[in-house]
Amino acid sequence: MRIILFIALIFCYTGTKAQYIKPFFKTLSIENGLPEGYVLASIQDKLGYMWFGTQNGLVRYDGYQLKQYAIPDDKGVPLIYCSIKQLHQDKDGKLWVSVDNEGLYFFDRMKDAFIKLKIDAGDINIFKNKAHYKWVEDRNSGTHWQLLYDFEKSRSCLTSFDANRNQFEKYSSDSKGNQFIPMNKNADLLQDAAGKIWLATDSLLSLFDPSSRSFKSWFVIPDSTKKIKFANLVADPLDQDIIWANTFISGIDENKNPYKRKVLKINTRTKAYKIFIQNDKDPASIAGNCMGILTDSLNRIWYLTDKGISIFNPQNETFTNYAIKFPASSTGNKTSVYALTSDKEGNLWLGGYKELYYLNLKTAVATYYAHSNEPGSLPDFGSGIDKLFYDRSGTLWISMPWSGIACLDERRSIFNPLLIAPLSGEPAAGHQPDFQIVGRASDSIFYVKNTSGLFAWNYKLNNYKRIELNNSNVYRQINAVIASKDGLVWIGSGGSGLFCYNPVNKSVKNYRNDPKDSTSLSSDYISILKEDQKGNLWIGTDDQGLGSLNKTRGTFTRYPFIQNNGTMVAKNTLDDSRVHTLFFDKEGILWVGTNMGGLNRLDTRTGEFTSFLDLKAGFNCIINIYEDKHGRFWAGTYLSGLFLFDKKTGKKRRFSEKDGLLFNSVFGIKEDVTGNIWIATARGLSRLDPKSNRVVNYAIPIGNVESNDILYTGESGRFNIATAGGLISFNPERMNTSAVPPELVIETVGYADANNKDTLLQAYGRKQIELNYNENRISFQFVAFHYADPGSNHYAYMLEGYDKDWIQAGIQRSATYTNLSPGSYNFRVKAANSDGVWNEKGASIAVTVLPPWWKTWWAYIIYGILAVAVVFLIDRFQRRRLLMREHTAAKEKELEHAREIEKAYHTLKTTQTQLIQSEKMASLGELTAGIAHEIQNPLNFVNNFSEVNTELIDELKAELAVGTEVSLQSAIEIADDIKENEQKINHHGKRADAIVKGMLQHSRKSNGTKEPTDINALADEYLRLAYHGLRAKDKSFNATMITDFDASIGKINVIPQDLGRVILNLITNAFYACTERSRSTVAGKNKQAVEAYEPTVKISTRLIISTSGGPGVVELSVKDNGNGIPANVLDKIFQPFFTTKPTGEGTGLGLSMSYEIVTKGHGGELKVETLEGEGTEFIIVLPV
């Protein structure tokens, strides 16, 4: 009696026995780079790249980006319409592409471009108006067989292509001789395990004869008169003599006229065959009408039927059936499985019409994954799934016509959160705010809340039960919820106290703080709740420390605490008022973590507290506590990481980011079944092996969570994580690392040539590259293929001959070296997948940087010849050198002397500059007394008139007090006098102001800018200032000053500061000359001469108009009647540092500086006329 092997499938959306509770798929579509949504063909090449052919072109994917390739026509112009239905990699690794209506292309990796296969003139139309729908490569001969559909004739045809001879043969019903074969619309082609080529056309099965290069009729379907035809052929992977075929009847609508399709098992060695059809009375028969036959990666043959899938048992030739109730497709077919593949455990992924299934063959449980709007969901693939496959890294790919192609992100699938949406079924809910998990009732039930409600959520069944607290304001305040052993639900709020909810009668009791009752709740601000073994409720508050509730008596006990600032030591009291976490260890001791304190131990029997606060070690602000099954005690802090704490000795060991943790804020600590410690942080999970202290991290989005404990244990060792995005439920045992290392290639080598132009070389096929010495800035681009989580693939590289050790590049996929010396190098790169499994072999390419021509071997030969010649010449040169040595030594002495002269010159110039400045300051000092004298006169006037005005004002008041007409008239006259005096005060004040401004202008450093200046006023002012300055220094000095200014001159453009210094210098010299003559006359004791001599200085200006029509000049003359200048020194007076004055009375720079100012600064002349014993006249000539 046959054993019935029919297994009904259980369909579920989030069953915990499924492969993933909520798989996460990464979809490649038009939005992120596909040229068109319909992926017609896909393949992974020998290097690891993924290639996708669409109706609008071809793209390559490396896990990071999609790169589109142009497909050229016969003239090299990229095709506009480019439909690619076939991608094929031959046995030599060459990639081929078939383009509808165009022909075949192969990929030239060195050029990174597709090349169109050249076809002989006789075969030019072989692909015209045809679509390629199957490609088979003969493993023995290398011949490529292609099934094509001819749109013009509405039937199939077959071509063979010999790539070695570039020769085509066409087989069709139009061909003659050996190439003739009857073909209509339907055909299938395969090569069996023995290497034979089979062609099924309608009801005929033909075998290719290599000797005649023709197809020979071999088998005809029985009852072929009933129009039974071959649908497809599959070679049995375990028996090379067996071919499987399923059939159909053409021209019959199965929905209106159902019939039973036949499956044929054909022995190609004996021609024996057996037919299998569905038999309702035999549960060991095939499940239903067979719509297709597919093999999986484990060499199993699966039969896709309208009632499920079946697998053949060769031992007794029966079927094991997995019945599936498929949704009806738009075509009316009763099956919707179009593709399947098996994972490494032997379970199946099934793709069909609008659905994806995962079938666990051991448990007979299938999980159905439909489209949703949640992140990571498959798109709404309305045309079904036409291909499922695993790449070599173990990543599942799903091809969806019109919707792109997707791959399963295994890591994100494990950590894909279940959304919390309790209000989705309530019509009036509107927009749903974010929910937070605030507690757990059991392995599968969590308490969730938002501002509008509190719910008990069974995440396995995805149902919610509202907990009504009769206070809409309290929901937003809920911080902690627990279910006690007696079935009550306790809710701690941040402001409304403690609530007790009875799920049976829906009653609610609220406990509040009563300041007058010491047995009431200590604070309405509750942070954490915990129940002990006796059923007592322990309450941690935000501001009043720790309390407990005796539920029998309904009274609260309060425990002592201190308000800590982070440094205070608590003695037999809780070390802070704010409690973060509570934990009972195996001995029943209560451990309390506080905010500004640390870890506290409370013996609940004696009420004794012990604080272990250690601020220096970072052992403070404890927010999580856990004890593992080995008795190890763990404490998590807010900012300092994880601590392993010895409860007996108080010793501790810290684990932080430096030790590998993702983050130092610990929001959960749990142990898995294998003894690993899991740490939840705001950045994700860290898994710590306590034996080796090795840390493995899993970066997942946690978000902004309110609870300090977000990690829960569930049934069968599962972990549940409460995140801002929902609940993550996973089995830590499934977190095994992927043992498949990534494949790795060096893509390109780039360098900058002598003209600094960037050049890029495709690295494929190159074992070595040579570069010139000036092409030594080199960059390498590389990529690793592991599509599970490509963004987390890591790289390391080394340039042997340059780097001493591997350089850890992280996720960077390039390396650049600059200024490489000539020599031989070897660039190596290796990569690791997201689980840290390294491809140690990696990839490499040799690089030779050639030396410049002057460092080549032949250059060194020339250098040797030249060296011999040099030695020959040295002897003769040496003699000449000896002769030249003395000459050179003499020349060196001359140069040394010249350098000393130059140094002295620079020193002299510096001294000259300093002396010039001293000269300027000296002239300013000479002016000081004159300025004081000039200012004193107007100040005297101001003082005198002010005193007079004071007396007049008193007289004015007296006259006004009389009030008679006469007195009023007198008052008016007095006011007029006051006004006149005020005008005089103003006049003399402005005079003093002008004197001060003149002094400032003289002392100010010249900026070299010429400006219109009244030269008469300038000369007059400096004459008076110089005179009074000398008078101040020498009371006996006196001289007659004569001025003769030409009023027609007006203002001329000069540098007033510089020209003023010249005038002052000349006037000062004139007064000095007069003084010296007076002294010499007195010294001669000639009374008559003394009385006759009157020192006189005359300064005059005049405007001289040019008679030739050119610009005129202004002459300014300073004349004295001193002793005159001796003729023997007259030609030296304008030389720097020359002076006739005694030492200490002159620098010798005055006339030199004046000469430069007049001639170079103003383009004028400075002339001198003198008669010894009679006087000297200096004349300044300035162009107008």
Residue pair 334/289 in contact by the 8 Å Cβ criterion: yes
* 396 three-class SS: strand
CA distance 573 to 558: 11
**Which of 466-480, 608-622, 974-988, 1000-1014 shows the lowest per-residue confidence on average (mean pLDDT)?**
1000-1014
- Within 10 angstroms of residue 581's Cβ, the number of other Cβ atoms is 22
Provide mean pLDDT across the span 82-111. Answer: 93
Cα separation, 948 vs 957, in Å, equals: 14
Taking alpha carbons only, the member of 74, 88, 82 closest to residue 119 is 74
462: DSSP letter: T
150-154, 327-331, 516-520: the lowest-pLDDT one: 327-331
What does the alpha-carbon distance between residue 712 and residue 493 come to, in Å, rounded to a whole number?
Answer: 21
Contact assessment for residue 782 and residue 745, using Cβ atoms and an 8 Å cutoff: yes
SS3 at position 884 = helix
Question: Is 1011-1183 the same fold as 559-724?
Answer: no
Question: Sorting pLDDT into bands at 50, 70 and 90, what band is 943?
Answer: confident
Beta bridge partner(s), residue 301: 295
Task: Name which residue leads in pLDDT, 1082 or 415.
Answer: 415
- Measured between alpha carbons, how far is 330 from 348 in angstroms, rounded to an integer? 24
Q: Residue 3 pLDDT > 50, yes or no?
A: no
Indicate the average pLDDT of the chain: 86
- For the ranges 8-12, 457-461, 696-700, 745-749, the maximum mean pLDDT occurs at 745-749
Most confident of 226-235, 369-378, 824-833, 1032-1041: 824-833
Considering the entire predicted model, what is its pTM? Answer: 0.68
Q: pLDDT band at residue 22, thresholds of 50, 70 and 90? A: confident
Cα separation, 489 vs 481, in Å, equals 7
**Taking Cα atoms as reference points, which of 151, 242, 127, 126 lies closest to residue 190?**
242
**Gap between the Cα atoms of 693 and 658, Å rounded:** 12
How far is the C-alpha of 1104 from the C-alpha of 1183, rounded, in Å?
10
Q: What is the residue-wise DSSP string for 188-254? A: EEEE-TTS-EEEEETTEEEEEETTTTEEEEEEE-TTGGGTEEEEEEEE-SS-TTEEEEEEEETT--T
Helices 1015-1033 and 965-1003: angle between axes, nearest 10 degrees: 90
pLDDT at 896: 82
Contact in structure between 677 and 690 (CB atoms under 8 Å): yes
* Whole-number Å distance between alpha carbons of 119 and 112: 22
The C-alpha atoms of residue 248 and residue 708 are separated, in whole angstroms, by 64
Note the pLDDT of residue 843. Answer: 95
- Whether residue 583 contacts residue 591, with contact meaning beta carbons closer than 8 Å, is answered with yes
Average pLDDT over residues 1022-1044: 82
Q: What does the pLDDT read at residue 430?
A: 35
Which residues share a beta bridge with 492?
A: 480, 498
- Residue among 233, 238, 186 nearest 207 (CA): 233
pLDDT mean over 592-605: 96
Angstrom CA distances, 384 to 39, 308, 328, stand at 12, 17, 12
Please give the helix or strand (H or E) that residue 1088 lies within, else none: helix 1087-1092
At 405 the pLDDT is 94
Q: Name the region of 178 (left: φ>0; alpha: ψ -120 to 50; beta: rest).
A: alpha
* C-alpha to C-alpha distance for 927 and 86, rounded to whole angstroms: 104
The whole-number average pLDDT for the span 865-875 is: 86
**Separation between Cα atoms, residue 765 and residue 365, nearest integer Å:** 48
Distance CA 1067, CA 1178 (A): 10
- What is the reported pLDDT for 717? 87
**Residue 848, burial from CB neighbour count under 10 angstroms (0-12, 13-18, 19+):** middle
Please give the average per-residue pLDDT across 650-677, as a whole number. Answer: 95
The two tokens of residue 404 are: 């792109």
The whole-number average pLDDT for the span 510-528 is: 95
Does residue 703 surpass a pLDDT of 70? yes
Q: What confidence tens digit (pLDDT) does each residue in 131-149 have?
A: 999 999 998 888 999 999 9
Q: What is the pLDDT of residue 467?
A: 95
Q: What percent of the chain has pLDDT over 90?
A: 49
Distance of CA 643 to the CA centre of its chain: 33
Q: Determine the pLDDT at residue 327.
A: 56
Instruction: Measure CA 866 to chain center.
Output: 58
The Cα–Cα gap between 235 and 351 comes to: 22
Boundaries of every domain in the chain: 559-724, 743-854, 857-1003, 1011-1183
Measure the CA–CA gap between 628 and 671, rounded to whole angstroms.
Answer: 6
Q: What is the pLDDT of residue 237?
A: 92
Is the pLDDT score of 980 beyond 90? no
Measured in Å, how far apart are the chain's first and last C-alpha atoms? 137
Q: Is the pLDDT of residue 701 over 80?
A: yes
Residues in the chain: 1184
pLDDT top residue among 966 and 867: 867
Domain 559-724 = CATH 2.130.10.10? yes
What's the pLDDT at 797?
Answer: 97
Q: At 496, list the tokens.
A: 């409304």
Q: Please answer whether residues 976 and 954 qualify as being in contact, where contact means their C-beta atoms are separated by less than 8 angstroms.
A: no
The string over 522-559, giving b where at least 16 C-beta atoms fall within 10 Å of a residue's C-beta and e elsewhere, is bbbbbbbbbbeeeebbbbbbbebbbbbbebeeeebbbb
Q: What is the pLDDT of residues 47-88, one digit of tens each?
A: 999 999 999 999 999 999 999 999 999 888 999 989 999 999
Task: Work out the angle at residue 303's Cα, subtended by the Cα atoms of residues 301 and 306, and round it to the nearest 5 degrees.
Answer: 165
Instruction: Evaluate if residue 791 carries a pLDDT over 60.
Output: yes
How confident is the model at residue 19, as a pLDDT?
59
Q: What is the sign, positive or negative, of the torsion defined by CA atoms of 275, 276, 280, 282?
A: positive
Report the alpha-carbon distance of residue 611 to residue 597 in Å, rounded: 8
Task: Determine the pLDDT at residue 1128.
Answer: 85
- Which pLDDT tens digit goes with each residue over 249-276? 887 777 777 788 899 999 999 999 999 9
| Residue-wise pLDDT tens digits, 283-298 | 999 988 898 999 998 9
CA distance 949 to 545: 87
Alpha helices per DSSP H over 535-610: none
CB 25 within 8 A of CB 398: yes
Model pLDDT, residue 324: 73
Q: Which of these, 700, 723, 699, lies nearest to 711 by C-alpha position?
A: 723
pLDDT recorded at residue 252: 79
CATH number for 1011-1183 (one of 3.50.30.30, 3.30.980.20, 3.30.565.10, 3.40.50.2300): it is 3.30.565.10
CA-wise closest residue to 554 among 511, 493, 603? 511
95 pLDDT tier (thresholds 50, 70, 90): very high
> CA 970, CA 560: separation in Å to the nearest integer?
98
Q: Are 475 and 445 in contact (CB under 8 A)?
A: no
Give residue 431's pLDDT. 35
In 3D space, the residue among 414, 343, 393 whose CA is nearest the CA of residue 837 turns out to be 393
Angle at 652 between CA 649 and CA 654, to 5 degrees: 175
Q: Among 6-15, 567-576, 798-807, 929-938, whose mean pLDDT is lowest?
A: 6-15
Fold of 743-854: Immunoglobulin-like (2.60.40)
pLDDT at 208 over 90: yes
